[in-house]
Structure 1
């Protein structure tokens, strides 16, 4: 499946009939099984329906960091993102990718 960032927004958990998706480095993970974390009211709900790469790398919950841009990140932050990506791969299914 290929989704634009705009289409990805539809999978933010606000519609209970749809799965919840989070993108990391352009790959879309189905995080529906982690609804208590990624669903409405969950501690990571702001990542749902978006590419959370920068926010994960920076360990940030600031809205402006919830984006795909890795520009200006330090090697340490890229390492943190690598660790998050491995956690997502171990726990959730990749269902597609983000396209322009």
Structure 2
């Protein structure tokens, strides 16, 4: 039986907003690559939102409605980034330190 520490937390949720996990020995498999691609998109989106937020904060003409919309988008992006960090932290904790390249 695979323990939770050996599972990869995927960058999407299942029904009822429950976490989804992947159990595989193939980090280059289809589902692993799909998860990697989605994580890359999520990180890129978060980066773009940080830039947009910086510009909005500098702009005195940014409306309250625009700020609320931006905060909503930033909250979702932060949730995605936190999930990615949690997933990668678990992967690091279960990997063999002798395999990492410096």
TM-score normalised to structure 2 length: 0.31
Larger helix fraction of residues:
2
TM-score normalised to structure 1 length: 0.31
